[in-house]
Amino acid sequence: MSVRRSTIIFAWILLLPALLYVSVIVAYPLVDTFILSFTDASLKKTTKWVGTLNYDKIFNGTFAEVIIRTFVWTFFSVSIKMIIGTFGAVMLNAAVPGRALFRVLTMPPWIVPMAIGIFMWGWMYNGQFGMISGVLQNMGLVDGPIAFLAHGSTAFWATIITDVWIGVPLVTLYLLASIQAIPQDLYEAAWTDGAGRFYRFRRITLPLLVPAMITMSMLSLIATFNSFDIIWILTQGGPNGDTTTMIIDTYRTAIGSKKYGEGAARAVVICIFLSIFCLLYFRVTHRLASGESR
């Protein structure tokens, strides 16, 4: 046996545990879900092959509205996180007294267990004894209590605010690390030439921060699009489905209504969207890596 062939065989042996893991944990469930999406699987004993009927129900029903709502929810959540995270990273990088304390204070939303943080926001949104409604009444901005989670428009934005609160620390710390990786010589040269703080940010910080911002926005997009906990704990997709996203609708169909075939079809659609996002992410990062290597 040649040395090259033995090396290849040894490499495959080393990859075997990972291949088994991917096959059992990832590949098999995906294939099984895809096959299940073409059946009328439910709690009944017999399962029939229905072809594309489940997909016809998706695109001829209300699921199209759910898809649009999911993209809108994801767009605003990710955009606000990136804006606040970028501003926060710049502020935390500034040479101000107590900077270390402010950096520590950005961590609690990320450190606190997600369910506890979401329940806390649920209490704050309560119309009768919630802090937000009480503060607005004391300031004279509203005449009476506001049940934020009982109305579609306010509940939609309430879930976005909660998701932003949870996601901003990670964005801020990631961008802060990227800012600190920028060579200080560039700032010193610009400062020597008389460039102001805003000019240095616009000409040095922001251009060199764009690759990190793109990477973080893509990762946040994938995580936010597939987010379940926040909406389910706060509203369970209500009121009247105004906060129902694709992942919530899939759960309610497959687990709540026990319509496993229709739920599998919805899961396949979600998987397709997430696969597209992942391909975009890898494509963007590959281009950024290629540009940096030149």
Higher per-residue pLDDT: 104 or 88: 88
Residue 96 has pLDDT above 80, yes or no: no
Distance of CA 293 to the CA centre of its chain: 29
Q: What percent of the chain has pLDDT over 70?
A: 95
Spatial CB neighbours of 21, under 8 Å, sequence gap ≥ 6:
none
How many CA atoms lie within 13 Å of 6's alpha carbon, on the beta-carbon side? 3
| Rounded-to-integer distance, Cα 98 and Cα 138, Å | 32
Measure the CA angle with vertex 230, ends 62 and 29; round to 5°.
70
Q: Where are the domains of the chain?
A: 71-243
Residues above pLDDT 90, as percent of the chain: 31
Closest by CA position to 190, among listed 208, 163, 175: 208
List pLDDT tens digits, range 27-77.
Answer: 888 888 999 999 988 887 678 898 889 988 888 777 888 999 999 999 999
> What's the helix, strand, coil split of the chain in %, to 5?
75, 0, 25
The mean per-residue pLDDT over the stretch 126-144 comes to 85
Class of domain 71-243: mainly alpha
Q: Is 177 helix (H, G, I), strand (E, B) or coil?
A: helix
Tens digits of residue pLDDT in 240-271: 889 999 999 999 999 888 899 999 999 999 99
Q: What is the pTM of this model?
A: 0.85
* Peptide bond preceding 239 in cis form (omega within 30 of 0): yes
- pLDDT of 131 higher than 80: yes
Reduced to 3 states (helix: H, G, I; strand: E, B; else coil), residue 17 is helix
